[in-house]
Structure formats: C-alpha cells, structure tokens
C-alpha cells in the first residue's frame, strides 16, 4: 500500500480554542500561589531542601512553604522556548506556542499480539516493534517506550527500553528512568549515539519524564532525576499524574490548581538548581471513575482540564506536556475511535506542545500497534483542520465560479485539478468506499488496513543506523549498571 504525500501543516492559520478567560487564568494562578505559600509542599531531596531554604523559603524538616515572589522569579528565569533534536542532530521539535507534536506514551504492561490477537504481558520486543512503527509513521513526532521490557532485569529495564528505542527510531525520545543513577546511565547511552556528551548537551534528542507524587510530595528520585538531567542540559518534563477525586480535589478547577502548584514547585526547584534549566510543565489530569476506580483518559473532564492547563502554560510562556489519543476502550472499536479523535483534535486546536500517550488502550494498560496507525490518520486529520481555511483570491475562486457559470460542472475545471489534493483530506486507513466497493474489498476495515501497514513496517522498515560501536557501548553500560545494582 503506497503512502500518500503527507504535509506537516506547520502553520496553524485560523482555528484556535480557548476554554477559559484571562481573568479565570489569573484566578487559578493566584490560587496556586496561595497553595504554595499557605499549604506548602513536602520535598524529600536534600539538595533541593537546601536550595529552597537558601532562596528564602520557610522550611521545617521536609515541609516547605514557597513565597509568591520566588515563584514569579522562577517563571521569569525558565526558558520560554526549548529546541529538541532528533538522533541525527536535526532540530525538529522547537517547543513554542502553538507548535503541536504527538507521540506515544511509555511503560504499558500489556500488549495485544498482532498475530494471536491475545492480550499478553509486554516484552522488550514490543518496545522494539513500537519504536519501528513510530519511526515509520509520518505524524508521530516523538517516541516514548509504549511497552515495558518485562522479561529483563527490573533494576535496569529502563535501560533496556532506551536501547530498544534509540536503536530502532531516530525521532526525539522522551524516556523514563527508575532513579538518578539509571538516569546518568541513560544519558551516557544517548551520548554514545551522537558522538559524545558535548554533542548531546549542545543538541539534546532526549527528554526526561519525571513527576511528583500528588498531593504535593516531591520525591528523592523524582527530583534527583530532574537535577541529574540539568547537569547535562537535558530538558525535563516535570508534571504530576493525578486522579481527580482521589489524589486531587474532584472539581476541575481544584484539580488544576493543585497540579499547577506541583508543576510550579518543580519550576522553582529547577531554576534554583540551574538558572535557565529547560523544564516543561503540564501533567495527566484524569478523573477517577467513582464506580470502577478507573483512570478516565477518554472522558470529557480530562480534555477540558487539558484545555485549561494548556492556556496556563501559554499564560506563563512555558512549553507544556499533555495527553490525547489515549482511551478507556479495551480494544480499537468505535469507542476508541471516538475518544481518540475528539482528544487529538482538541489538543491541535488548543496549541499544546508535547502530546503523549497516543494509542493507549484500556486506560493506559494495553497497547496495540495497529491502533497507533489509526491514530496517525487521526493526527493528520486534526492537523489538516488546524491549518485552517485559506481565503486568498485563488482560494475564493471568483474567477472559477464565473468561468463555470450557472448550471455548470466543476469536475473538469483546471482549478479543481490544481487544488483538490490540498483541499480534500485523504486518509490512509479510514474507509470511504461505497457499499459495493466495500464488499469487493472483502469488507476491509480500517483496522485491517492498519494491521497490514504495521506488518509491512515490521518486515521492511529500518531506522537510520547508529554510529559504529554505539550499540556495543550502550549494552556495556547496561551490563555495568546491572552489576552495580547487584553490589
């Protein structure tokens, strides 16, 4: 099946989505400052506690109260733009206002096998396969591991996942790490793939994902991983992942206020560690279903929260990290398509920056590679809509209308031939056949075509090669770190 020519739709021309007013954003901001000043946070990292105390925070043991002026100062210092490269050194992800990029999520414990159609425990090979698929699909901009390398040594499974990702995909990578020591090892592995640590520091292709523990607890490992990355100029996503009604207030505004307090505390610690430290805010703002305790990825409350959180990030002028295309449906059915399509379109029109977890099934527990291909179509559709409607004289087509005249036909018009490819979006996997055509195609479904594409990618696609010796060096680092964990 030949791929169509894909446009990146770089320019978002007219559509935009604002969920709350500027005065409501200010209310959330001031409520956030009140939480940090009045309630405070818990910090379990000694260096961070020392930095906060020296900066003027009130500190009692691990409890810290952050004054509003210090938050404002940290927001002033945090970079408003972060440029991220791919493994080839091309700066492909400038994190700027209204630049929207899509990628997978990480660490799914289960995978639906494309050969048996059975749900099973994820393995390192699933990370390899997902990496190849993301590398080949044109509308995925970055990669997270998608699966867990469950059969590997748990102490270094994060290193195995990184090796699988960077060997099979040249796109930017957002990685998770177990602890600061493994973060150091991952950074050294990445450096081996780009010609050394200096090249990585000047043009990073990796981003760390770390998080506090809601409500309002910043852990030793969460902060330590972040601080380790700043030593090497590696950007960090430091964002909470919550369950509204469980780990945050159930009200949407209360959930966002608590999450914002956790994110801005991270901004403060980041800038105290290193002025200009590249930090990305946002988070996973999902409610908890009170009947099942399920994390509601595909719920309207979730994408409403992300709309406000994106506006907050733009209010601060900071890059943000959010979610779309992640669904509660356990398989890629009509529910999955509806949940994915709505959330992907929302994030495109909001102008989010890093949109992750695309392709998650079952509330973030299960992956299925053909669903990534379906989501690739949905991203392309959203980007097409986000590019807006062109209204140049050529596109207004007054001369064409005059030429055809009343009762005419535009099928044979040169204007139609010139513009139909750009003016009528064409999917790769979604169905547009008439009934008879569909029957002649053996009632082929979008999932059938997506499955065919995934099998084609896994059989034929090769990512751009690593530098000579890089794979051996990465594997040596994994072995060395595994031995350190045993000691």
Angle at 420 between CA 325 and CA 338, to 5 degrees: 20
DSSP 85: E
Rounded Cα distance, 132 and 126, in Å: 10
**Confidence (pLDDT) at 8:** 47
Average pLDDT of the residues in 333-338: 96
Q: Do 318 and 359 fall into the same domain? A: yes
Torsions phi, psi of 320, nearest 5? -130, 165
* 383, containing H or E segment: helix 369-386
Is pLDDT above 70 for 3?
Answer: no
Rounded Cα distance, 423 and 389, in Å: 9
Q: Do 405 and 258 fall into the same domain? A: no
Q: Do 177 and 304 fall into the same domain? A: yes
**Confidence (pLDDT) at 16:** 78
- The structure's pTM equals 0.95
Angle at 400 between CA 395 and CA 401, to 5 degrees: 100
Average pLDDT of the residues in 423-436: 93
Decide: 185 and 477 in contact? Cβ < 8 Å. yes
Does residue 379 fall inside a structural domain?
Answer: yes
Q: 138-147: per-residue pLDDT in tens?
A: 999 999 999 9
Helix count and strand count (H, E) for the chain: 18, 18
Residue 81's pLDDT band, with cuts at 50, 70 and 90, is very high
* 366, containing H or E segment: strand 366-367
Q: Do 85 and 212 fall into the same domain? A: yes
Does residue 290 fall inside a structural domain?
Answer: yes
Rounded Cα distance, 203 and 193, in Å: 12
With a pLDDT cut of 90, the percent of the chain lying above it is: 91
Does residue 356 fall inside a structural domain?
Answer: yes
Average pLDDT of the residues in 253-258: 98
Does residue 12 fall inside a structural domain?
Answer: no
Average pLDDT of the residues in 332-338: 96
Residue 106's pLDDT band, with cuts at 50, 70 and 90, is very high
Q: Which of 36, 48, 40, 39 is nearest to 220 (CA)?
A: 48
Rounded Cα distance, 79 and 94, in Å: 12
Q: Do 404 and 266 fall into the same domain? A: no
Does residue 41 fall inside a structural domain?
Answer: no
User: Of 140-149, 204-213, 295-304, where does mean pLDDT reach its minimum?
Assistant: 295-304
Number of domains in the chain: 2
Beta strand pairing call for 110-112 and 354-356: unpaired
39 versus 17: which is more confidently predicted?
39
Decide: 289 and 301 in contact? Cβ < 8 Å. no
Is pLDDT above 80 for 73?
Answer: yes
Q: 211-249: per-residue pLDDT in tens?
A: 999 999 999 999 999 999 999 999 999 999 999 999 999
DSSP 368: -
Decide: 360 and 367 in contact? Cβ < 8 Å. yes
Neighbours of 89 (CB within 10 A): 14
Two structure tokens written together for 468: 């000579």
**Confidence (pLDDT) at 2:** 37
Which residue matches tokens 């807006």? 388
Rounded Cα distance, 277 and 280, in Å: 10
**Confidence (pLDDT) at 487:** 79
The parent domain of residue 283 ranges over 76-387+471-480
Is pLDDT above 80 for 14?
Answer: no
Q: Do 291 and 411 fall into the same domain? A: no
With a pLDDT cut of 70, the percent of the chain lying above it is: 97
Residue 5's pLDDT band, with cuts at 50, 70 and 90, is very low
Q: Do 95 and 206 fall into the same domain? A: yes
Mean pLDDT of the chain: 95
Tell me if residue 179 falls in helix, strand or coil.
coil
Please report which residue ranges of 110-231 form alpha helices under DSSP H: 124-136, 157-168, 180-192, 197-202, 220-230
Residue 45's pLDDT band, with cuts at 50, 70 and 90, is very high
Q: Measure Cα distances from 181 to 161, 275, 378, 485 in Å.
A: 16, 23, 38, 10
Q: Do 168 and 309 fall into the same domain? A: yes
Q: Do 224 and 307 fall into the same domain? A: yes
Decide: 122 and 109 in contact? Cβ < 8 Å. yes
Peptide bond into 15 cis (omega under 30): no
Residue 122's pLDDT band, with cuts at 50, 70 and 90, is very high
431 versus 77: which is more confidently predicted?
77
Does residue 397 fall inside a structural domain?
Answer: yes
Q: Which of 227, 236, 268, 283 is nearest to 76 (CA)?
A: 268
Rounded Cα distance, 337 and 381, in Å: 13
Average pLDDT of the residues in 337-365: 96
Average pLDDT of the residues in 311-326: 97
**Confidence (pLDDT) at 10:** 52
Q: Do 383 and 406 fall into the same domain? A: no
Does residue 437 fall inside a structural domain?
Answer: no
Residue 6's pLDDT band, with cuts at 50, 70 and 90, is very low
Q: Do 196 and 88 fall into the same domain? A: yes
Decide: 325 and 375 in contact? Cβ < 8 Å. yes
Does residue 436 fall inside a structural domain?
Answer: no
Q: Do 327 and 179 fall into the same domain? A: yes
- Indicate the burial class of 283 (C-beta count within 10 angstroms; 0-12, 13-18, 19 or more): buried
CATH (domain of 156) = 3.20.20.480
Q: If DSSP states are collapsed to H, E and C, what string results for 307-351?
A: HHHHHHHHHHCCCEEEECCCCCCCCCCHHHHHHHHHHHHHHHHHC
Residue 4's pLDDT band, with cuts at 50, 70 and 90, is very low
């Amino acid at each position: 099946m030949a791929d169509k020519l894909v446009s990146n739709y770089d320019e978002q021309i007219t559509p935009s989505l604002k969920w709350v007013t500027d005065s409501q954003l200010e209310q959330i901001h001031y409520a956030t400052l009140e939480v940090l000043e009045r309630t405070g946070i818990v910090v379990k990292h000694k260096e961070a506690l020392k930095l906060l105390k020296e900066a003027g925070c009130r500190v009692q043991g691990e409890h810290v109260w952050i004054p509003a002026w210090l938050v404002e100062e940290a927001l002033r210092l945090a970079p408003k733009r972060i440029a991220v490269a791919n493994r080839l050194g091309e700066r492909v992800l400038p994190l700027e206002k209204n630049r929207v990029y899509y990628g997978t999520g990480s660490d799914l414990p289960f995978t639906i096998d494309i050969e048996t159609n059975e749900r099973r425990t994820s393995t390192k090979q699933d990370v390899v396969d997902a990496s190849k698929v993301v590398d080949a699909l044109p509308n995925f901009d970055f990669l997270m591991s998608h699966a867990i390398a469950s059969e590997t040594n748990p102490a270094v499974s994060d290193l195995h996942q990184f090796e699988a990702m960077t060997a099979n995909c040249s796109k930017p990578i957002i990685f998770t790490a177990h602890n600061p020591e493994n973060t150091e090892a991952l950074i050294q592995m990445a450096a081996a793939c780009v010609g050394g640590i200096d090249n990585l520091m000047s043009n990073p292709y990796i981003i760390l994902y770390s998080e506090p523990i809601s409500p309002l607890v910043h852990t030793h490992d969460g902060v330590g991983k972040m601080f380790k990355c700043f030593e090497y100029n590696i950007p960090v996503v430091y964002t909470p992942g919550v369950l509204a009604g469980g780990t945050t207030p159930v009200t949407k505004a209360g959930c966002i206020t608590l999450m914002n307090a956790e994110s801005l505390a991270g901004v403060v610690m980041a800038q105290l560690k290193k002025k200009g430290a590249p930090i990305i805010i946002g988070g996973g703002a999902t409610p908890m279903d009170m009947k099942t305790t399920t994390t509601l990825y595909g719920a309207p409350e979730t994408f409403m929260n992300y709309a406000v959180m994106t506006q907050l990030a733009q209010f601060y002028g900071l890059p943000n990290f959010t979610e779309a295309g992640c669904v509660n449906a356990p398989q890629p059915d009509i529910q999955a398509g509806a949940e994915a399509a709505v959330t992907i379109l929302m994030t495109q029109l909001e102008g989010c920056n890093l949109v992750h977890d695309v392709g998650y099934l079952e509330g973030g527990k299960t992956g299925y590679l053909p669903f990534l291909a379906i989501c690739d179509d949905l991203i392309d559709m959203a980007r097409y809509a986000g590019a807006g409607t062109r209204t140049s004289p050529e596109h207004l087509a007054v001369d064409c209308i005059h030429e055809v005249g009343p009762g005419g036909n535009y099928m044979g018009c040169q204007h139609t031939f010139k513009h139909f490819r750009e003016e009528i979006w064409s999917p790769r996997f979604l169905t547009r056949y008439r009934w008879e055509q569909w029957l002649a195609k053996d009632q082929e479904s979008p999932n059938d075509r997506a499955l065919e594409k995934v099998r084609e990618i896994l059989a034929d696609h090769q990512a751009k090669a690593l530098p000579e010796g890089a794979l051996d060096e990465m594997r040596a680092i994994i072995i060395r770190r595994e031995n350190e964990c045993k000691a």
